[in-house]
Chains A and B, each alone.
Chain A
Amino acid sequence: MSDGKRREVIISEQEAASLLKDGMTISIGGFLNSSHPMPLVRAIIRNRLRNLTIVGAASAGLETDMLIGAGCVKTVIAPMISGESLAPIGPSFRYFAQRGEIDVIELDEHMYYQGLRAAAALMPSLPWRGGIGTDYAKLNPRLKEFDDPITGERLLAIPAIHIDVALIHAGAADPFGNVQHVGTGFGDRAHHRAADMTIVTVDKVIPNEEVRANPYRTSIAGADAVVRAPYGSHPFASPGHYLEDAAHIREYVAAATAQLKNGDRGPLEEYFNTYVFEPKTHAEYLTRIGFERILSLYEV
Chain B
Amino acid sequence: MSQTAMDYTTKELMAAFIAGEIKDGETVSVGASLPVCRAGILLAHLTHAPNLKVQMAFTMTNLLNVPVLESFEFITDWRAARWAEFFYNHDIGPDLYKRRRQAIFFIGGLQIDAYGNTNLIGIGSDFRRLKMRGPGGVGTASMGTNIGRYYLYVNNHNRQTLTEKLDWRSCFGFGEGGADARKRINLPGSGPRFCITPLCIFDFEETTKRMRIKSVHPGVTLEQVLDNTGFEPVVPERIAITPAPSAEQVTLLRHRIDVDGVLRRSQ
Q: What is the interface of chain A, defined by CB distance below 8 A to chain B?
A: 31-35, 58-59, 78-82, 84-85, 88-89, 93-94, 97-100, 104, 106-111, 113-114, 116-117, 128-136, 139, 153-154, 182-187, 189-190, 237, 239-240, 243-244, 246, 299-300
A110 adjacent to B139 (CB under 8 Å): yes
Give, as a whole number of angstroms, the nearest-CB distance from B226 to chain A. Answer: 28
Indicate which residue in A59, A106, A237 contacts B78 across the interface (CB closer than 8 Å). A237
- Given A129-B145, A186-B90, A79 and B74 contact (CB-CB distance below 8 Å): no
B78 adjacent to A240 (CB under 8 Å): yes
Q: Which residues of B contact A93 (CB under 8 A)?
A: 133
B78 adjacent to A182 (CB under 8 Å): yes
A84 adjacent to B74 (CB under 8 Å): yes
Q: What is the interface of chain B, defined by CB distance below 8 A to chain A?
A: 32-33, 58-59, 73-79, 81, 84, 87-91, 93-94, 117, 121-122, 127-146, 168-172, 175, 185-188
Q: Which residues of B contact A78 (CB under 8 A)?
A: 136
A113 adjacent to B91 (CB under 8 Å): yes
Q: Which residue, of B88, B89, B91, has the highest number of chain A Cβ atoms within 10 A? A: B91
* Residue ID in chain B nearest A151 by CB atoms: B186
B94 adjacent to A114 (CB under 8 Å): yes
- Given A84-B74, A139-B168, A129 and B146 contact (CB-CB distance below 8 Å): yes
A132 adjacent to B145 (CB under 8 Å): yes
Q: Which residues of A contact B144 (CB under 8 A)?
A: 130
Q: Which residues of A contact B121 (CB under 8 A)?
A: 106, 135, 139
Q: 6 nearest interchain CB pairs?
A: A130-B142, A34-B76, A239-B78, A109-B139, A110-B142, A190-B91
- Given A58-B90, A132-B185, A237-B78, A81 and B136 contact (CB-CB distance below 8 Å): yes
Q: Which residues of A contact B79 (CB under 8 A)?
A: 299-300
Indicate which residue in B59, B87, B135, B170 contacts A88 across the interface (CB closer than 8 Å). B135
- Given A32-B75, A139-B168, A184-B90, A106 and B136 contact (CB-CB distance below 8 Å): yes
How far is A128 from B141 in the complex, measured between Cα atoms in Å? 11
Give, as a whole number of angstroms, the nearest-CB distance from A296 to chain B. Answer: 16
Q: Which residues of B contact A154 (CB under 8 A)?
A: 185-186
A98 adjacent to B186 (CB under 8 Å): no
Give, as a whole number of angstroms, the nearest-CB distance from A96 to chain B. Answer: 9
